[in-house]
Amino acid sequence: MQHDKVLILDFGSQYTQLIARRVRELNIYSEIHPYNKIPDQIGSFKAVILSGSPYSVKGEEALHPDLSKIRGHIPLMGVCYGAQYLSHFSGGHVAPSNTREYGRARLTGIVNHEIFFKGISDGSQVWMSHGDTIQKLPDNGVRLASTHDVENAAFKITGEKTYGIQFHPEVYHTTDGKQLLHNFLIDIAGIHPDWTPDSFVEETVDDLKEKLKNDRVVLGLSGGVDSTVAGVLLNKAIGKNLYCIFVNNGLLRKNEFETVLEQYEGMGLNVKGVDASARFLDALKGISDPEEKRKVIGRAFIEVFDDEAHHIENVQWLAQGTIYPDVIESVSATGGPSATIKSHHNVGGLPDFMKLTIVEPLKSLFKDEVRRVGNSLGIDPQLLGRHPFPGPGLGIRILGDLTAEKVRILQEVDAIFINGLREWNLYDKIWQAGAMLLPVNSVGVMGDERTYEKCVALRAVESTDGMTADWVDLPHEFLQKISNDIINKVKGVNRVVYDISSKPPATIEWE
């Protein structure tokens, strides 16, 4: 089935993938390409969106796309840097702001008769994130909206279906961002919203059948949403040729190895459990740098899978549950200029000694999309509702070097926290939660005796995609009880703190 497509040109913004996600929420297929690698078949796209960027259109390093086949031919919208580019290089004027315009703002002076702002009224909250501002509109530019600090917050080009906005409609802080994208893509560009979870399943299964044919595939299951959905998709495509392996890396949650294996019983997947905890902990001895820990864990996973793959005759593929946030935080998904935040153990290819080819059926999806696909596949809603858990597990929630004793402490703490969230009916209201073991000791008093033990940090965030997140204001009574339970029941901990930082500027995990 041919779907109407949206092209998103990446200028290096960490929000670029969020644009794709918002577009897909409208059941519209989107592709991201670097700003300087516009597809030859540009006519196959029904609309184009220019992303934001860490660069300035005023700088020598300004990124220059060739828009000659787009401007005036295909509906076009510039976001932040994209809007400044459309202005600065088309007769307008962009200058540095007196102060960095970052955070919430309110739209004013909306031109209500414009389809672009249909259903959006003055006072609508938007999210700003830029150091430059548009002082003069481009040739034939018409202002559509302002904010208190930004006169030209939105504009259009007369005679074209070309629009520019200084704010970011893709982040959930912009309350009417989805409506604005609907107005542009469906009402102005005339796109048919027919890219759905059901269509993704059907097309992905067909593609997997074509790509894998009768080859055998080994998949690492983690018990989480991503690998489970990947496994069910692959099982639907190749059945008995899929061999699933669940590895205990010694960094799982308390009792997780046993419970996950039980979880997969009855799902029709061929699963083998491998306890490699000693191997991982030995490889991690003395290593405290978070990037090095991720790399060591990644290498150990590869080695374990290579060992297990040798027990499967003629296996040719390694399947992974990689999703979009993994890719964009490790390296730009399409070779664009997006900055690297951190590496992921399941991103970056395989070593030469491992003669397998990677297949990643979910690498274009965000977490919420994976859950919708899982629902379409009939996977248990309780499993789909599980909080994300990092591939390196507790290895990146124990700051500093790793030991079996530190893992034990954090497993106990995490179990008290997560079980408490469930008991208080808070678990399903949170996107992700976990505990961090800090590399510091603090003085405490227990039974009139001085203690000098570990400090742990609890973290709970609300999000829809993992690219941005706000900390959750958990009830004080809950935090008080959990803190008391942890200090009283977990030997080695005498202090509990709660993390109230959002992403950005912090990340969800501490490493």
* Closest to 375 measured CA to CA, from 194, 192, 200, 172: 200
Considering only CA atoms, which of 172, 170, 57, 179 is closest in space to residue 110? Answer: 179
| Residues in a beta bridge with 133 | 95
Q: How far is CA 495 from the centre of its chain?
A: 31
* DSSP bridge partners of 441: 454
Distances (CA, A) of 422 to 383, 416, 426, 433, 474: 14, 10, 6, 11, 13
List the catalytic residue out of 170, 256, 329, 511: 170
CA-closest candidate to residue 496, choices 507, 487, 508, 506: 487
Distances (CA, A) of 74 to 14, 20, 186, 188: 25, 18, 13, 11
Does the annotation count 455 as an active-site position? no
Query: Interhelix angle for 367-376 vs 16-25, to 10°?
Result: 30
Judge contact between 308 and 244, C-beta under 8 A: no
**Within 10 Å of residue 58's Cβ, how many Cβ atoms?**
14
CA angle 234, 237, 243 (to 5 degrees): 45
Look up 33 and say whether it is catalytic: no
DSSP helix/strand/coil, 316: strand
What does the alpha-carbon distance between residue 417 and residue 489 come to, in Å, rounded to a whole number? 12
Contact of 142 with 117, CB cutoff 8 Å: no
Strands 45-50 vs 76-79: parallel, antiparallel or unpaired: parallel
344 as an active site residue: the answer is: no
Tell me, letter by letter, the H, E, C secondary structure of 391-419. Answer: CCHHHHCECCCCCHHHHHHHHHHHHHHHH
How many Cβ atoms are within 10 Å of 36's Cβ, its own excluded? Answer: 15
Find, among 230, 478, 199, the residue nearest to 367 by Cα: 230
Bridge partners for 503 per DSSP: 469
Distances (CA, A) of 32 to 6, 42, 251, 359: 9, 13, 34, 19
Q: Which of 88, 168, 173, 182 is catalytic?
A: 168
Cα(151)–Cα(406) distance, integer angstroms: 54
Catalytic residue among 3, 33, 80, 101: 80
Burial 377-398 (b: 16+ CB within 10 A, else e): bebeeebbebbbbbbbbbbbbb
Structure-block tokens of residue 249: 């890396």
- Give me the half-sphere count of Cα atoms (radius 13 Å) on the Cβ side of residue 104: 8
Catalytic residues: 80, 168, 170
